[in-house]
Amino acid sequence: MAFEVLMPQLGLTMEEGTVSQWIKHEGDEVKAGDVILEITTDKLTNEVASEHDGVLLKIVAQEGEDIPVKGLLAYIGQPGESLSGGEAVGGASAPAPAAAPAAAAAPTAAPAPAAAANGARIRISPLARKTAAKLGVNYAGIAGTGPSGRIVLKDILAASEIQKNAPAAAPAPAPAAPAAKAGSLELMEGDTVIKLAGMRKVVSQRMWASHNEIPPVTQNIKVDVTALMKFRKMLLAETGKKYSVNDLVLKATAKCLRQHPEMLVSLDGEQIIQRAHVNLGMAVALDAGLIVPVIRDADKLSLDALSAAAKDLASRAKENKLGADEYKGSTFTVSNLGMFGIETFTPIINQPDAAILGVCAIHDELDLDGEGKLFKKQVMRLSCTLDHRLLDGSVVAKFEMDLRDLLEKPMSILL
């Protein structure tokens, strides 16, 4: 019997993967350990290797297709070997099975509730919601086992099994949930349609969830970085090492967060988790989307070590060489758009963090000294978005003011 190639589960929270590229094709010989395809999971591209020697008999999942964990991708076996359904590949077809009796009518899809009975919004993953609609599972009363009580695929499958084994109840007429509009935009000449998949799909889902679940407030503060820029030049002259402005901002942020542990919190259902570590998420822009590798215990790192870690993570993120654990576990995130000349913006919180710091461009500004004389200084704005369920504006304002003071007196960053 041919062996099945299944979608692997490459992380505890992984529910589905996208087939990015088939390296091997139907009819190709494969050996155990050979890479046969690439899949995109949770912002990363991973290689899937064969566990058996043989021939790639049949490709079931096509490139660009989203497949749930343990879903069928392909078959590997010997030429002419029968597949699990009785189909023979590369040889005579297996006899067709006798016609099966008409299948029972599929269960009517249960309405997809937007909120629980108490009015609270239901946390459910997109794949779990889609599967619930297919299986006719009403998830309003399901207790999720995912992060923060989120309903995930295995919860829906378990509920479906319970529903199948439960005594049949008299069907009650219920209006079907309105189907989400897809492909309803009118296309104009020259338009192309690109499937929302892979990293862009993950970014889309997470940004939508964050924006809809969190009451955000963004507070901006202006920082005089004239001394910081001189300090950077001094470090270059004395050490020969070229630190970026981002390195100094990350170092100052890590130090300031250690002094403000109230910023390091996460909401988990009806409880607040006080985080023990300053794990800095660092937003990195890629052609396919956005990824946030994590610098762990950043407050314990020297400027040299932090700078090296930031450069290494950013470089490997762009080369798709990050491990799954290297972009998880952040407790605070920094997003820098200063290199693009952005003067202020509203960064979206990287859940489950309670805040994110937006770093903006440095520009010249004129000011008056105590004697009324005009002088030029360099300023930079910081835009901090907070989760108002967990943090108040005054709390974050104190953090921003202390961070400003550190950056305006840069020697204190290293002390």
Answer for the pair 89, 75: CB distance below 8 angstroms, yes or no. yes
Q: Which residues pair with 396 in a beta bridge?
A: none
* Cα-Cα end-to-end distance for the chain: 67
SS3 of residue 43 by DSSP: coil
Residues in contact with 85: Cβ distance below 8 Å, sequence separation at least 6, in sequence order: none
Q: How far apart are CA 313 and CA 291, in angstroms?
A: 10
Selection from 43, 98, 46 nearest residue 73 by Cα: 46
Specify burial of residue 385 (Cβ count, 10 A radius: 0-12, 13-18, 19+): buried
Separation of alpha carbons 220 and 4, rounded Å: 54
The strand ranges marked E within 316-371 are 332-336, 355-368
Cα gap 70→167, rounded to integer Å: 29
Please tell me the distance from the alpha carbon of residue 34 to that of residue 314, in angstroms, as a whole number: 29
Residue 163 has which token pair? 């529903």
Question: Which one of the listed residues 25, 211, 260, 388 is annotated catalytic?
Answer: 388
263 close to 257: Cβ distance less than 8 angstroms: yes
156: left (phi over 0), alpha (psi -120 to 50) or beta: alpha
211 among known catalytic residues = no
Rounded to 10°, the helix 153-165/126-135 angle is 20
| Residue whose entry in the numeric block shows the structure tokens 């000449």 | 189
User: How does DSSP classify residue 204?
Assistant: H
Q: Which residues are catalytic?
A: 388
